Structure 1
Amino acid sequence: MYSVSTTPYEMSKALAERHKALRKRLKLSQSEMAERSGVSLGSLKRFESTGKISLESLLKLAHLLNHLEDFNKLFQAQDDQSHIENLFTSNL
């Protein structure tokens, strides 16, 4: 049985909401953000309304907002991997 506290859908929506709030706080329109980041306006609008975006576009937005380094934390090996190993070995 697969169980997490936050689903991928919920995470993508939360990321989109935080991005939109930050964009507004910086007083940037969607058009300005799209032009400055190199992400199409359609992709930006879709991201902010649905949470769907390509990884490349998400990285471009993060770079523009000075958050690209946040992605370096993803998929880093941790000292204790037993909880991850249990996901693949339980219920066999």
Structure 2
Amino acid sequence: MSKYSATKTPTAVMEELVLKVQQLRKKNGISQLELSKRSGVSFGSIKRFETTGQISLESLLKLAYFFNRLDDFTPVFSIDADLGSVAKLFSDKTR
């Protein structure tokens, strides 16, 4: 979380994802190389992800699939019941 905000920053979410993938990998006793071979994600991508947090969406989804966590992405960008408040932000009347 941001020092001055109650919401998480993109960097904080990225760092949490890295930790979770590392924990899943280590819990299952899988090396980065083995994860690469079994998930279809290049070794360099896995290494870079665990070091910097940078990874393509496709590779992240492949890792989620490998760990049987793909359904965790279902609620991402889900449509909430009240989008009216968001629409008001972009209306010409508020500018």
Q: Normalising TM by the smaller chain, what interval?
A: 0.7 to 0.9
> Any stretches of 5+ residues in structure 1 without a counterpart?
none
Instruction: Provide runs of 4+ in structure 1 moved above 2 Å.
Output: 80-89
- TM-superposed CA distance for 1:82, in Å, is 4.6
1:45 corresponding residue in structure 2 = 47
* Map of 1:73 onto structure 2: 75
Task: Return the TM-score normalized by structure 2.
Answer: 0.81
CA distance in 1, matches of 2:89, 2:25: 37
RMSD over equivalenced CA pairs, Å: 2.0
Distance 2:27 2:89 in 1: 40
The 1:83–1:17 alpha-carbon spacing in structure 2 relative to 1, beyond 3 Å, is farther
- Cα distance in 2 for partners of 1:35, 1:63 equals 14
Structure 2 gap segments, 5+ residues each:
none
Computing the radius of gyration over CA atoms, which structure comes out larger, 1 or 2? 2
Q: Give the residue type in structure 1 aligned to 2:48.
A: R
- The offset of 1:4, in angstroms, is 6.5
Q: Evaluate the alpha carbon distance shift between residue 23 and residue 66 of structure 1 in structure 2; reply closer, same or farther with a 3 A threshold.
A: same
Question: What amino acid is aligned across from residue 24 of structure 1 in structure 2?
Answer: K
